[in-house]
Amino acid sequence: MFPVMLQVENLTLGYGQRCLVKQLNLQIRPGERWALLGLNGSGKTSLLHCLAGLMPPQSGRIHLFGQPLQHLGRRQIARQLGLLLQQQNDSFPISVRDTLLAGRHPHLGPWGWPSAAERQQAEDLLELLELTELAERQSDSLSGGERQRLAIAQLLLQEPSLALLDEPDSQLDPCRRACLSELLAQRFSQAGRACLMSLHDPNLAQRCCNRVLLLYGDGRWQAGSSAELLTQEKLEQVYGCRVAVHHSAQGVLFMPGF
């Protein structure tokens, strides 16, 4: 049995009188790629922020690699856990290349600079995410899709063992969305890696994830394998609408039913 990277025990999360997640129990192990699915407002972003230590739960415990999350410093967390936010903040815009290199910050000393090998990693990621021609541009001059690709590149340069991604496909065109799903599936299927990503498209979840966490927005949740939870019945329950299933040589495709 693989070791547990993130362990969540009886976690309850909500605002005021509204309960988003009630007594969640979850274990994320190496090789697992989790899709987090639910309606807008069901608590996906709040849960990711809670698991990253950015907001406290109402009750419950979170352990990161066996240590209580609340006892860890931000740099210590960032060496093991990466978080891709839904919206990027360029309060101090710098070049695309320097923004990317900031992803190595958790691994550097107080006066450390990225090594030649780390800089080459950055150049490889710029090319992989089609950002090389934008490397000298200011990060705040990028389009939404370009900024999202830069944030993904920064997360990959950080090299966390566990990544929490909030809508990583946001603002990407269909071609780049497909390439992203393949890239994330490849990177986080490597030994010692795992991820949990909130998504709106169950087809993307089916393509790049092997585990699923469903949030119903009223405290209820379900966790299990993709084969178990990515079904017409479960998706209709979580989204509250009809779901049509199309079978083809490429596999199953879920579409809103009318």
How big is the chain by its Cα radius of gyration, in Å? 19
For position 114, what pLDDT does the model report? Answer: 87
Rounded CA gap, 256 and 258, in Å? Answer: 7
Question: Which residues neighbour 47 within 8 Å (Cβ) at sequence distance 6 or greater?
Answer: 13, 20, 21, 24, 36, 215
Structural domains in the chain?
Answer: 1-80+160-230 (3.40.50.300), 92-158 (no CATH)
Residue written as token pair 């709106």: 200
| Residue 178 contacts residue 208 (beta carbons within 8 Å) | no
Beta bridge partner(s), residue 3: none
For position 179, what pLDDT does the model report? Answer: 87
| Residue 122 contacts residue 82 (beta carbons within 8 Å) | no
Tell me the pTM.
0.94
Rounded CA gap, 78 and 69, in Å? Answer: 12
pLDDT beneath 70: ranges in the chain? 1-2, 90-91, 109-111, 258
Rounded CA gap, 190 and 175, in Å? Answer: 24
172-181, pLDDT tens digit by residue?
Answer: 988 888 888 8
Backbone angles phi, psi at 38, to 5 degrees: 170, 165
For position 2, what pLDDT does the model report? Answer: 67
**Beta pairing, strands 251-256 & 243-248:** antiparallel
Closest C-alpha among 230, 189, 236 to residue 213: 230
Q: What is the largest CA-CA distance in the chain?
A: 59
Residue written as token pair 């907001």: 55
Question: Which residues neighbour 58 within 8 Å (Cβ) at sequence distance 6 or greater?
Answer: 12, 13, 14
Rounded CA gap, 90 and 99, in Å? Answer: 9
| Residue 215 contacts residue 21 (beta carbons within 8 Å) | yes
Rounded CA gap, 199 and 167, in Å? Answer: 5
For position 91, what pLDDT does the model report? Answer: 65
For position 72, what pLDDT does the model report? Answer: 95
| Residue 3 contacts residue 200 (beta carbons within 8 Å) | no
Rounded CA gap, 36 and 18, in Å? Answer: 20
What is the SS3 string spanning 80-100? CEEEECCCCCCCCCCEHHHHH
